[in-house]
A = this chain, B = another copy of it.
Amino acid sequence: MSQLLKVQNFTVSSDGFGAGENQTLERPFGHADPRELMAWAGATASWPNRTDDGGTRGLDDYLTRDFSRNIGAEIMGRNKFGPQRGPWTDHEWQGWWGAEPPFHTPVFVMTHYYRPSFALGETTFHFVDGEPASVLARAKEAAQGKDVRLGGGATTVREFLEADLVDTLHVAVAPVKLGGGVRLWESPDELRDRFHLDVVPSPSGVTHHLFWRKER
């Protein structure tokens, strides 16, 4: 079985935005409220940040439960790591993900600016420049035969889609309108030429879009 590049639990607004405008240190999703966008995921038993025994175990839980299954590395855009633009000036600040990030694998952060790798808990962050294809090659090597997660944000997902490197995507469309921000798509139909698509409304109010690549 070959190694896949997978987008998982990526949530967008009903008008197609993965995050709002004006990202800052305090507001990683800009004007969007991540608790609202991600409410469907936070309610499930398998949400990585959950600490108690509760949570739903229906459809949404099958999606969050799959988050780390057979994943050996993640690729993320720079702004999923932090709000900085330009050269890295503060190496003390180690990203939005806390002392025990939920990835537990090597993570490749795409940036044009040099920064040394460091480990936090079971996660190691590497800062890499280059085209999507070369970053993916490095991530696959690090994943040691397992799949690679493409973590987002929306701009990074679009870059890899344009390079035709994505094998499967799970995008949850939340019943929230943002009006502006970082756009993933105008409509999921844009991907139908290259992907099969199951559209699955969840009782929680989100609609899961499950894409997998057509044979080439």
Contacts and interface: CB of A to CB of B under 8 A. Distances in A.
Nearest to A50: B1
Contacts of A196: 56-58
A116 interface: no
- What is the count of identical protomers in the complex? 2
Nearest to A208: B59
A2 interface: yes
A210 B65 contact: no
A198 B56 CA distance: 10
A195 B38 CA distance: 25
Contact of A212 (B56, B65, B202): B56
A168 to B, nearest CB: 5
Interface in A60-88: 61-63, 65-66, 69
Contacts of A1: 53
A200 interface: yes
B63 A212 contact: no
Given A2-B53, A66-B65, A69-B69, A58 B203 contact: no
